Amino acid sequence: MPLAKALELAQEYDLDLVEVAANARPPVCKLMDYGKFKYESAMKAREARKNQAHTVIKEMKLRPKIDPHDYDTKKGHVVRFLKQGDKVKITIMFRGREQSRPELGFRLLQRLASDVEDLGFIESNPKQDGRNMIMVLGPHKKKTEAMAEAREAQAARKAERQGGAPADESAEEPAEA
């Protein structure tokens, strides 16, 4: 249709004439409310950013001569981080004569990796970096999956606390005056 007729039609319906495909022969245009379109696309972008997961690297520091209870506590933190979908950087700090025995740190890192292998995998193998030995564990689950599971668990706990009562009790009972 000619441009003049398309513009006239757009004014008649109080809409905007928007060029969709400029390179097509003939160019493709569309009648739409452009302000509403911009608003809806901004809302979609905001929703996408809200659901986007940021990769976070948590760090756990250990020493080669760690007490079994302290090791269990640190392992519990690593497990929690991996369940949340975060990467974990484990650092073994060597001091003094410990530097001459890096195999102790390597064994400790391997033990920790084998203890949490059901939740995560070794993303970068242990390597000596001056006085420290570093290893990175990555989660099997993506951050978005972990966030979705956490939301479902939270909703289940909330429903359990309410004792199976309907979510909106005010809709069922008439208001008293």
pLDDT in tens, 145-173: 777 888 888 899 988 888 765 555 444 55
Distance in angstroms (rounded) separating the CA atoms of residues 92 and 95: 10
Residue 156 maps to a domain: no
The reported pLDDT for the residue numbered 177 is 46
141 pLDDT band, cuts 50/70/90, is confident
Q: What pLDDT does 21 receive?
A: 86
Q: Both tokens of residue 155? A: 């909703």
Do 117 and 70 lie in one domain? The reply is yes
- Does 43 lie in the same domain as 79? no
Residue type, 175: A
Query: For residue 174, what pLDDT is reported?
Result: 52
Q: Are residues 129 and 113 in the same domain?
A: yes
pLDDT, tens digit, 9 for 90 and up, residues 8-62: 888 988 888 888 888 888 888 888 888 898 999 999 998 888 777 677 899 999 9
Residues 61 and 47 in one domain: no
List residues bridging with 92 in a β-sheet. Answer: 62, 133
- Pull the structure tokens for residue 11: 């004014």
- Residue 26, domain extent: 3-51
CATH of the domain at 13: 3.10.20.80
Looking at the 3D structure of the chain, how many domains does it have? Answer: 2
Instruction: Examine the domain organization and report whether 33 and 61 are in the same domain.
Output: no
Distances (CA, A) of 149 to 5, 51, 54, 161: 54, 13, 16, 18
pLDDT score at 78? 93
Residue 113: which CATH number? 3.30.110.10
One domain for residues 64 and 135: yes
Between CA 29 and CA 46 the distance in angstroms is 27
- Which pTM does this prediction carry? 0.59
Is 128 found in the same domain as 63?
yes
pLDDT digits (tens, 9 = 90+) for 84-120: 888 999 999 999 898 898 999 999 999 999 999 898 8
Q: Are 83 and 106 in the same domain? A: yes
Q: What are phi and psi of 63, to 5 degrees?
A: -120, 155
Let me know whether 30 and 85 are in one domain: no
Mapped onto helix, strand or coil, the DSSP state of residue 63 is: coil
pLDDT > 80? residue 81: yes
29 within a domain of the structure (yes/no): yes
The answer to whether residue 146 sits within a structural domain is no
Cβ-proximal residues to 109 (8 Å cutoff; 6+ apart), any chain: 90, 92, 126, 133, 135
Task: State the pLDDT at residue 163.
Answer: 76
